[in-house]
Structure 1
Amino acid sequence: MTDHSKQTANKDISFNLIKLKEEVYDELTQDILPFWAEKMKDLERGGYFGQMTGKNQLIKNAPRGGILNARILWTFSSAAFYLKNNAYLKEAEHAKEYIFNHFFDEEFGGTYWMLNADGSPADTKKQIYSQAFFIYALVEFYRTSGDEVALKKAKELFSLIEKYSFDKDKNGYFEAYSRDWLLLDDVRLSDKDANEKKTMNTHLHLLEAYTNLFRVWKNPLLEMQLKNLIDLFLDKIINFETYHLNLFFDENWACKSFIQSFGHDIEASWLLDEAATVLGDVGTLQKVRNVVFRVADAAVEGLREDGGLMNEKDVVTNHLDTNSDWWPQAEAVVGFFNTFQLSNKESYLKKVFNSWNFIKENLIDKENGEWYWAVSKDGHKDTLNDKTGFWKCPYHNSRMCIELINRIK
């Protein structure tokens, strides 16, 4: 390629990146955030409604999940922090007030799994996955507001997780506890999960939460445990034959699953890189960088020709779930952009554009707002699953937009 051709190619890339940045900015500020602020906010009882069906029917009396509320708090806090918008801070304050008034267990500590629509506890179990998201959100609220009480609550949750959930003998974190912190027999996040003592998913979001907490609190124990979480991914969770993530484990870290989750692969690739960067340990960062591309490339196996990322594969039966749920698509955009930034290889950037175009064409509900739950391989949009609900939150898609707004200079 001649120098002139290189200059032309670089100009084309710059133009396309600027266009991408403008489009995700508009998606965040004109679609996702207004949808949640205008359609999902409960002005009578506080907080946000717990469900809207895939056919856009608001269920005002639906239960309210801790994960949903923590992710709403994180979303508006992060938008306020990076976009310097006071309207988003007010939304974050609305979410934070409801969480403080209803989700915290003042007697035993920690946060409840689920509330009734009136704010009373519906399920008081302490799922570590959920505690992690409250840390993640409270820290983000502290970063934008300076609210020391929010940071104090995040530190308390960290201490509770370390006290009750950390396995001092075999390493890692157990999954779920009763209200008074007794280990439960049924520790599943949802019916589709295996009932195993340790999971990739919980460790991934503890990694995410501890990374955010370490940004603002250089506590020695936190530093040690953040590094330990990174090492657990490198030593136990990443399958070094395939570079996919193993998903479920017993207490001794024996793998108990045969599913490859392409969305978690690409999400972990950039979250691990972020964690090692924030940790600031040169040796750890080098070890992570040695595997980031391989984990991202493993996720590529799930890409369809139309740019959609399939959900998962059962390696025993070879069955493919060819649906493209909303969240793996968002994580694909960030994950492949991260590998592009680290490598400057245009092949990764092409995957970013393909994933974003797939989202625009298939997942964004241009008439009613927000994103559909999923789209099938033949293009059928899923309106049976929720538009918003216990798991359908403004976190993956908002974070995708915020990450690209920040990364594209």
Structure 2
Amino acid sequence: MMLKNKYCLLFLIGFILFSCAESKEQNQNRYQSSIKSSISFFDKAFDAKSGVCFSELDFYGDTTSSKVYTVALSRLIYGLAYSSKYFPENLKRAEHLARFQLTKMLGEDSLGFYFIPEVGEGKIRRSERLDIWQQAYGLCGLTELYRSNSDEQLLTQIHHLSKAFVERFKDEENGGFYGEYACNSGGIAGTKTIQSLMYPITAYMANLCLADDKNRSEYEEIIKEHLSIAYSKVWNDSLGWVNTKFDDRWNPIIESKEKVWVSPGHNFQFATLLLRSAEWPFISNKKQEKYVKLGKRILKETLKKDIWIDESIANGFYGGINPLTNEVLDKNRSWWQHCEALIALSFCPELTDEFELLKKFYFDSFVDAKNGGEIANIDINGKPIIEAKGQKGKSIYHHIEMLRILNENKIRL
């Protein structure tokens, strides 16, 4: 009898282990399927003659011009490089596009190379004024490509680009980065924003810091400085919203009621940055604790706001709010903002119920099973807005970055 019970117990344990392994495999298959669907939408945009993917695609995946944007291309490289862990053939595709970026989309000044925002239609759109969004995200794809292929020559190029980037935008007097840079005169006063604090970290530095461990100190100090400024200046406790614009000393600038605008996605994005600091060993335990505490508070306060359609998380949230009056300024719902919300929620197991409701909404509403890719915006009635799925800043990044972090946080799809 005891022997029989023993075999029953062994069978039960074996069955449980087999079921868990099978469940894990099924979950990974769902991740892979979602990644593949997102990437394949851009397959028709590849032009063999020029050796690049065009950036402007309509709602159905057809190219509408021969323009190539730095941000869109870099984000495509990011997705291809990351996905190569599942689809090895995508590594060569990413390397091919990176070669185009590094040979066709770089300009140069006295500090070194910078990213040309746009080429195509027989023109190269150079600019005497560079913005931090395009320059930071220009390094996004190259960094993920290095993380995937460990190419030392590529890393050397990344170092040169990153060093020039830091020299251009860094404010030596007040810390942090300016949001814009004039090639003839330096950082432009009055251009500091929440983006100039967050995007250098979220676009490439956090990823590069993990991948390039031999040179980690080059990025650690910048990340620590930006986190410190952001912790003390970005969150507006009285309004319950992030401050988005700052003067040169990082004092928040509150615009008039007619102009002020905030995206709920930036609340979630800032919360994520604070929560991610717990993963970075170069941040002291004391600072990690206070950053994570604020990140969770921001997240919970945002969830309580009147931003949800029909007062339900299951319906997603509005795209733009007046932080002074909480008036809804944009009733559409944006894919990238919901990606940011899911990323933030994935760091908080205590908010699993909210995460599951929003996850279902996102995949039901923004992932276009019929036409491919991700829908950029849906209207108040939940209908897709028929607009470009490929444009200056939109390719596959937000969706795949979200999938990556959910997977790393061991979230089931």
TM-score interval for Structure 1 and Structure 2 normalised by the shorter chain: 0.7 to 0.9
Mapped contact 1:373–1:387 kept (Cα < 8 A):
yes
- Pairs within 5 Å for 1:138-177: 138-177=142-181
Q: Which residue is equivalent to 2:299?
A: 296
**SS in structure 1 opposite 2:125?**
strand
Q: CA deviation at 1:243?
A: 4.6
Mapped contact 2:60–2:372 kept (Cα < 8 A):
no
Amino acid across the alignment from 2:253: K
Normalised TM-score (structure 1): 0.83
Whether 2:411 is the aligned partner of 1:382: answer no
Q: Which residue is equivalent to 1:32?
A: 38
- C-alpha distance in 2 between matches for 1:241 and 1:71: 36
Whether 2:219 is the aligned partner of 1:210: answer no
Which of the numbers 45, 48, 65 marks the counterpart of 1:60? 65
Mapped contact 1:327–1:397 kept (Cα < 8 A):
yes
Which whole-Å deviations, capped at 9, do the CAs of 1:62-105 have from their partners, x for residues lacking one?
Answer: x322111111111111222xx34311212211221111111122
- C-alpha distance in 2 between matches for 1:25 and 1:41: 21
Identical columns (%)? 18
Amino acid across the alignment from 2:367: I
Which of the numbers 209, 230, 235 marks the counterpart of 1:233? 230
Amino acid across the alignment from 1:212: N
Q: CA deviation at 1:27?
A: 1.4
- C-alpha distance in 1 between matches for 2:360 and 2:27: 10
Mapped contact 1:79–1:402 kept (Cα < 8 A):
no
- C-alpha distance in 1 between matches for 2:26 and 2:322: 38
Q: CA deviation at 1:22?
A: 4.7
Mapped contact 2:170–2:187 kept (Cα < 8 A):
no
Q: CA deviation at 1:180?
A: 5.1
**SS in structure 2 opposite 1:89?**
helix
**Higher CA-based Rg:** 2
Q: CA deviation at 1:142?
A: 0.8
Which of the numbers 324, 327, 330 marks the counterpart of 2:339? 330
Mapped contact 1:112–1:121 kept (Cα < 8 A):
no
Amino acid across the alignment from 1:238: W
Give the unaligned 5+ runs of structure 1.
1-13, 186-195
Amino acid across the alignment from 2:247: D
Which of the numbers 265, 268, 271 marks the counterpart of 1:269? 271
Which of the numbers 51, 54, 61 marks the counterpart of 2:56? 51
Q: 1:27 to 1:220 in 2, by over 3 A?
A: closer
Q: 1:219 to 1:356 in 2, by over 3 A?
A: closer
Which whole-Å deviations, capped at 9, do the CAs of 1:294-327 have from their partners, x for residues lacking one?
Answer: 1212332233323313222102343212211110
Q: CA deviation at 1:117?
A: 1.6
Q: 1:356 to 1:219 in 2, by over 3 A?
A: closer
Give the unaligned 5+ runs of structure 2.
1-20, 255-259
Q: CA deviation at 1:56?
A: 4.5
Q: Which residue is equivalent to 1:188?
A: none
Normalised TM-score (structure 2): 0.83
